[in-house]
Structure 1
Amino acid sequence: MRTVLVVEDEKLIRQGISTMIKRCGVPVEEVIECANGLKAMEVLREKDVDVMFTDIRMPKMNGIELVNAMQELEKKPITIAVSGYDDFSYAVEMMRGGVREYILKPVERDKLKNVMEKLEEEISKMKDAQKNNRELGKKFLKYVLEDKDESPETLEALGKNIREEVGDSYYIVVSSSTDEIQRELSGSFMLSETSGSVIHILGKEKYDQLIEKLSDEENGIVSTAGISDCYTDAAYLKKAYLQAIDRRSKAFFTETIVYETKENTNVPQKLIENGIRLCDKTQVSTRVHLIGTDKTEQLEKEWNGFFIAAGREQIPAKEFEAALAFFTKEFENVYKKSFPMDASKPYLYGSLSEFRDAFLDAVYKENSRFMENSGDTQTEKMIQAVDYIKKNFQTDINMAVVSNYVSMNYSLFSTAFKNYTGQNFVSYVRDLRISEAKKLLLESQLRVNDIGAKVGYDNSKHFMKNFKAVVGVSPTEFRRNSVH
C-alpha cells in the first residue's frame, strides 16, 4: 500500500502506532500523522490515502465527525477505529458509517500486524480487479458504442468476464457521477464512465440489496439512476445498456429511479407538439437574445415554461437535448463567449430540477451583468429579505415569493442575496430549516416526520435527505446519539 494516515491527539500513542506500522512487515511508502480530524480532512482532500487509523475522542473534530465528513470524498480510505473500552458504543456508530474494524488501546503489535496484512491483501486484490474492470470496460464500450456486431468469440469472452465478476445473471446501471447510488455501488463492478454517466454491472445479489436499500423510507437513498432488466447472455449487453440509458433519461425527467418498464404517461399529443415547438431553433434563439435585455420577466417566463413542459414529459428527451445543444452554440455566436456551464450535457446532473437550477442560475447571472446595482437600497432590501425568510421558512417559501416581497427582479435578487449572505437561496433556507429541526429533535418528543413538516418539508424523504447531507447522520440517529 502507498499511504497510511494515523489520526490521534496523544503524541506518544500516535508515534507508537506509526512505528508499529513501519515495522509490521507490510510495505508502506508513507505514514502521515495528524493530531485531530480537521488536519486529517486536509490531508484526505489533498492526496489519496489507502488506510486510516483514527482515535475517537479528539479535539476540534473527533473520529465520528471525521468519518462523517469524509463521506463527501470521492476516494475514501479503509478506516480502522482505535480507542478504549469506554468508547465502544461510539465505535459501533462509526462502523455503521463504514469503519472496517475496531482496535482497543493499548494497541498490540501482533493485532496491528494482522490487520495490516489483511488490508494489504484486500487492497492488492482490489487493484487487480480495477485493472480487469478497465480492460473489460474498454471492450464493453467498444461493443455498445459501435454499430457493428462483435464476433461470437468476443461476446463469449465478455460473457466469461461478467460471470466471473457478478455471476450468471446481470443488470446494467447508468447514473450521474453525483448520484447517491454511487455510495451503494462502491466496490462493485464499474464498466466505464462516459459523458458524465457512470456505468455499473451488478449481479443478482447486489441488485436485490440495492432495491431493498431504495425501499427503506428513512435510511434509504434518493436516486435517479436507470437500471436494466435482468439478463444472462452477453449477446444482450447492448440491449441492456440501451435499456438502462433509456431509463436513466426517464429517471432524469421524473426525478425518481427507474428499474422496470413503466407505462408511458398519457400526455396528450397536442401538448407534446407544443413542447416540441419550444425546442424549435427560432424559439431557442429568441430566448438566447432575451439575455442581456431589460425584459427579465419575459426571460423568466420563457425559460420556466420550457422546463415546466420538460418536467411534465411534454418534451421528448431527444428534442430537449437538441434544444440545449443549439442554445450552447447560439449563446456563443451571439455573445462571443462561452456559456458559464456546459448546458449541452444535462445528464451530468442527477435530475431535471438540479440541472434547471444550475442552468437558470447561470442565465440570470449573465443577465445581471447588464443590470445596474442599486447600492444602499439593495442592502436594505437584503436585510428585509433575510428577516422575512427567518420568520417564514417553515412555510412553502421560494425565491420568487421573497423577491416579490422586497420588490426586486428575480435574477437581480438571486445575485444580490448570494453576495449578501454568502449562500444561494436554497442553501440558506435549508440550513435554517435543519437548524430548527435539530433543536426540535433535542427539545421535543415530536415524531421525525412531524418535525420535517413543522420546519417546512412536505416530503419526509426530502427532509431526511437534506438533514443527512447537512448533519452527516439521519434525524433518528442524531436524536439517539444526543441522548448519550
Structure 2
Amino acid sequence: MFRMMIVDDEPLVRKGIATSIDWQEHGIEIVAEAGNGKDALQRLQSLPVDLVLADIRMPVMTGIEMSEQIKERYPDTAIVLLSGYEDFGYAKAALQIGIQNYLLKPASAEKLISVIVEIRDKKRQERQSLKQEMSRTRIFNENLPFLKYKLMSSLLKGELGAAEIEEKSRTLQIDLQGPEYHILLLDIDDFWLFSEKQSQKQNEAFTFAVFNIAEETLLSYFSGFVCYGELNRLVALVSSHKIHSLLAVCQEIQANVKRHLKLSVTIGIGQSCSSLADIRRSYQEAVQALKEKVYRGKGQVFLFAANQRQDVFDGERSAPFTAEEKTMVRHLKLMDEKELLQSIRQYFLRFASENIPFVEVKHACVRLVFLFIQELEEIGSPKDVVFGPQFIPHVAIERFEVVADLEAWLARMAAKLVRHIEENHRNTFKRTVKEAIRYMEGHYDQPISLTEVSDHVNVTPAYFSKLFKEEMGITFVKWLNRLRVEKAKALLKETSLKTYEIAEKVGYYDYKYFSNTFRKYTGVSPRDYRNR
C-alpha cells in the first residue's frame, strides 16, 4: 500500500479528504493526520509515509516550513501542497524548495486522485528500478570472482580478441593497458595439512583472506587483477616492467599474509610479455617456477629463468621413465595390486641400500604420483576420487618425516588406485549404454542412426551394437522403435495431432513405415489405438 498523511489545520477538511475518496481502491492508505506542520514532523519520526498532502497556511508551522524540514530529513517522501488563489507567494516559495506538486483549492477529487496516483506510480517505478539495480549489483559482486576466473581462463587459452579483452576488462573495471605483463602464481604453503583440521568454511575463509591481501597489495602498486586458481592457488595478472619492484611487492604480500594470518605463501613469477596473446607462456613459466618449492623450500619467491628450465623446472617430467617406474605403471594398467605393492617395496629398499637423500626420495615419489594421476586421467577419472579433493602431490609428500611412513602412504594410495580402476572398468560398459539411452531419449524425434549414437559415446558401431545387446537384451533398432512407439502412444491419447504429425514428432518421416511399426509393437493401427 502507498502510505499517505493528511496535514491541515481544519478537521473538517482533513475528514473530507479522507472520506470523500475511496483511497483503498487506488492502493493508497491514509495512515495519519496532523493539524499543523510541527505535529506532522513529530508523527513522521515514528510513522514514515510515502506522501504528505498538506495545506500551505497553517498555525504553528506552515506547509512551506514543514516541507523544508521533510525535504531535509526524509528526502524520499513526496509532498503535495494545497492552497488558495491568493497564496501566489507561497506557491513561489514551494517551487523554490523543489515541490512540483502544487494544487489550488478547491481541488476536485478527480484532480487530487490524478496527481497522487501519478506520484504513486512514479514512486513504485523508482523503487522497482532501484531494487533491480541493487539486485544486478549484488549478483555482479557475487559472481565477480567467477567472472575474473573466466576472463583469466579465456586469456590463457587465447580465446579473446583485442576488442573482447577491452570490453570484458572494462565491464570488470580492470586496467589491462600494459605495456608489459607478468603472471604470478601464489600457493598457500601446507594448505593440505592445515585444511584437514578445519571445516570447509574455515578453509574458504583463509583462502579468501589471502586473496584479499594479495589483491590489495598488488593493486596498490600495479594494474591488473587476481583470481582464484586450483585449490590453494591464486593467479594474478599484473602490468609491470620493473621486475625488482614486482619482487619487492611479492615479498610484501608474503609479509602481510604472515603477519595477519600466520600463513606462508610461495610465489612463482613468469617472465614478462608485451602482448596478452603471449600471457599463456608467462603462466606456464610461473607454474615451472613454483616447482622450485619442491627443492628449495616454502615461503619464497621464485622468478622463472630460461636457462634453468631443464635442470630445475622440468626435471621431474622431462627425464625418461626408469625401469622401476615402467614396471609399476604396467602393474597398475594390469590391475595387479600384489605385484604393484611388491614393486613399491623394492623401490624403497633401493633407496635405503643406496642411502638416497630424503629430498630425492620425496622427489621420486612426487614423480610416481604424477604417473598414477596420468593413469587416472587416461580413463577419464579425476584425481579427487583416489587422492581427495585438495590433493597436491608435493604438499602431501612434504609432510612425511621418515621414509617408512612415506612408503606406507604410497602403498595405500596405490592399492586404492588399483581398486578404483577395477571398479571403473566394471562401470564403463554400463555408463556407455546409459549415455546412449540418454542421447536417444533426447533425440528420438530426429532420424538418428546406430553410427550417430556410437559416435556420441566414442565407440565403433559394431562394438556399440554388441555392447547394447548384451546390456539391454534387445537390439539398438528394436529399442529405439519401442521408445518411439511409446512416445507416439502418449501423443495419440493426450493430443489431437494428426497421426502423420505424430509420426514426424517421434522420428518417423515415412507414415506408412510408422504405421507398420506401430502395429508391429501394439497389434493395432495408430487410428485404432486412439479410438479404443
TM-score (norm 2): 0.28
Question: Looking at CA atoms only, which structure, 1 or 2, has the larger radius of gyration?
Answer: 2
Instruction: Report 1 or 2 for greater relative contact order, CA contacts < 8 Å, sequence distance ≥ 6.
Output: 1
TM-score (norm: length of structure 1): 0.31
